[in-house]
Structure 1
Amino acid sequence: MSKINGCLKCVFIFFNVLFGILGCLLIYSAVRATASSIQMSTFGGPGVGWIWVIALGVFGMSALGIFAACSENSLALKIFAGFMVAGMIVMLIFGTIVAVVRNKVKDAIEHGAKEFVNPIMENEDSRALLESLQGPFQCCGVASAEDWGSAIPDSCGCMPDYSSISNCKPRPQGSSGPALIYSQPCSLALFSIADLVFKVTMGFLFGFAVTAVMGLLFSIVMIRQVTQH
C-alpha cells in the first residue's frame, strides 16, 4: 500500500517531469550560449557559467524528486527538501546579484562611464552589434560619436529632413566618415536590450525561488506521510 497520498504524489511527479523538461531546455540553451562569442559579460553582466549551474541543478533536482516520490524513500525526500532550501537561497542570491548588476549597468550607461564603453568598443562582436543598431535607432556611439575614434562608420550617417534635422550634427573634427551624423548616443538602445535580459533573468530566478518553496512544502508533507506509516 502506498504511503503517500496518490493525488499528491501524481502532482509532485508531474511538476518534476515538467522541470526535467525545462532542465533539458536550459542545458540546450547553455550549450548555445557557450558556443556564442557574445557574452553578457560584455554588457557588465555575468557569463554563461551560472546558466550551466542552474540548468544542471534543475535537471538533477527534478530527477531526484521523481525518484524520491516513486520510491517513497524518506531519506531521498529529506535530501530533496534540503536541496530545495539550498536552491531557494541560491536563487535569491543570484536574483539579488542580477538586480544589483542591472542598476550598475544603468548608472554606467546614463553617465557614459568608460568602464562600460571601453569593453563594448574593444570587442569586435559588440562593435558589430552597436553598428547594426545605429541606423534603426538613429544614434551614434555608446556615450558619444567620439567612441568610434577617428573613423566614424557609415551607419552613423544622418540624412536630415524637416522632421529630423535636429537629430543631426557635424562629425567630430579630425575624423573621417559621413559629414552629418546622429547627435544622440546609443546608450538607451543598448540598455533597453540589456534591461530585457536582466528582467527576464530576475523573473526566472525569483520564480524558481518561489517554486523551491512549494517543492519544500510538498516534500515536507510527503515525509510526514512516509514516517507515519
Structure 2
Amino acid sequence: MGKINGCLKCLFIFFNVIFAIIGCLLIFGVVKASIYSQQLSAVGAPGMAWVWVFAIGVIAISCLGIYAGSSERGLALKMFAGFMGVGMIIMLIFGIIVVVLRNKVRDNFRSASSDAVKQQMDQEEFRKMLEQIQQSAQCCGLVSPKDWGDDIPASCECKSSGSRSYGIFGSSGCSARPQGSRGPNQIYAETCSDFIITWTDFFFNIVMGFFFGFAVTALLGLLVSLLMVHQVKRHDQGGPTSMAMKGY
C-alpha cells in the first residue's frame, strides 16, 4: 500500500500532466507570436522573453510534481509546495502587471502622434500588418488615412454601395480620400486604432484571467501537496510503531 491516498495521487499526477501540456502549447504559441513581437513592443507591449520563462517554468514545475507524486518522496513534495507558494505570488504580481500594461498600451494607441506613426510606417513589416488589418476590419490608417502619405493602398477602398460598410469590427462609413493623394476614391472613414485597442483589450483580459486562474490553481496545488506531505509523514512515523507492535 502506498504512502498517499491512491485517488489523490492519481488526480495530482493527472493535473500536473495537463499543465505540462499547457506549457508545451504556450511555447508553441510564443513561437507563432514572435513575428509580431517587434511591432507590439513598439507601442509599449512587453517582449516575449517573459512568456518563454513562464512556459518553461510551467513545464519544469509540472515535471517536478509528476515525479513527486509518483515517487511519494516527502522532500520532492515539499519542494513542489514551495514552488506553488512562490508561483501563486508571482501569478498575482503578473496579473497586476498585465492590468497596468493594458492601460499603458491603450493610452499609447490613443495618444499616438503622427511622427511616431510615420516612423512605424517606414517599416515594411508594419505596413503589411496594417494592410491585413484594414482588409479584415474595414478601416484605413492607424491614426488617420494620412498615415499612408500620398499613396492610399487598395485595402482602404470602401466598396459599399451605401453610405456604410460592414466588417468584423462592425460598420464603417465611407469617405473621400484626402485631397492630393492617390488611390481609391472612397475609403473607410474609421481608423484602425479603435479596432486594435478593442482586440488588445480582449487579449489582455484573457491573459489576466490566465494569470489569476493560475494563482488560484497554485493555491489548490499548494494545499494538495501539503496534504500529501502530511500523509507521507504520517506513514513514515507510523511504520516503526507498527513493526514494534508486531514484535510483541
| Class of the TM-score when normalised by the shorter of the 2 chains | 0.7 to 0.9
Instruction: Measure the CA separation in 2 of the matches of 1:190 and 1:116.
Output: 16
Distance change (3 Å), C-alpha of 1:217 and 1:148:
same
What is the Cα deviation at residue 75 of structure 1?
1.3
Give the letter aligned to residue 151 of structure 1: D
Task: Name the SS of the counterpart of 1:167 in structure 2.
Answer: strand
What is the Cα deviation at residue 103 of structure 1?
1.6
Aligned to 1:24: 24
Task: Name the SS of the counterpart of 1:190 in structure 2.
Answer: helix
Task: Name the SS of the counterpart of 2:46 in structure 1.
Answer: coil
Distance change (3 Å), C-alpha of 1:114 and 1:73:
farther
CA contact (8 A) 1:98 1:198 kept: yes
What is the Cα deviation at residue 190 of structure 1?
1.6
Instruction: Measure the CA separation in 1 of the matches of 2:157 and 2:43.
Output: 25
Distance change (3 Å), C-alpha of 1:169 and 1:32:
closer
Aligned to 1:218: 224
Correspondence 1:10-159 to 2 at 5 A: 10-34=10-34, 37-39=35-37, 40-113=40-113, 117=117, 120-159=120-159
Task: Name the SS of the counterpart of 1:228 in structure 2.
Answer: helix
| Cα deviation digits, residues 166-190 of structure 1 (max 9, x gap) | 9333333333323332222111112
Distance change (3 Å), C-alpha of 1:203 and 1:113:
farther
Give the letter aligned to residue 95 of structure 1: G
Distance change (3 Å), C-alpha of 1:25 and 1:160:
closer
Aligned to 1:207: 213
CA contact (8 A) 2:99 2:208 kept: yes
CA contact (8 A) 1:171 1:181 kept: yes
Instruction: Measure the CA separation in 1 of the matches of 2:116 and 2:196.
Output: 11
CA contact (8 A) 1:45 1:98 kept: no
CA contact (8 A) 1:19 1:58 kept: yes
TM norm structure 2: 0.80
Task: Name the SS of the counterpart of 2:36 in structure 1.
Answer: coil
CA contact (8 A) 1:43 1:120 kept: no
CA contact (8 A) 2:43 2:108 kept: no
Structure 2, unaligned runs of 5 or more: 166-171, 236-248
Instruction: Measure the CA separation in 1 of the matches of 2:214 and 2:176.
Output: 50
Give the letter aligned to residue 48 of structure 1: M
Instruction: Measure the CA separation in 2 of the matches of 1:116 and 1:99.
Output: 24
The structure number with the bigger radius of gyration is: 2
What is the Cα deviation at residue 115 of structure 1?
8.5
Give the letter aligned to residue 125 of structure 2: D
Structure 1, unaligned runs of 5 or more: none
* Percent of pairs with identical residues: 53
What is the Cα deviation at residue 68 of structure 1?
1.1
CA contact (8 A) 2:44 2:108 kept: no
Correspondence 1:140-179 to 2 at 5 A: 140-159=140-159, 161-164=161-164, 167-179=173-185
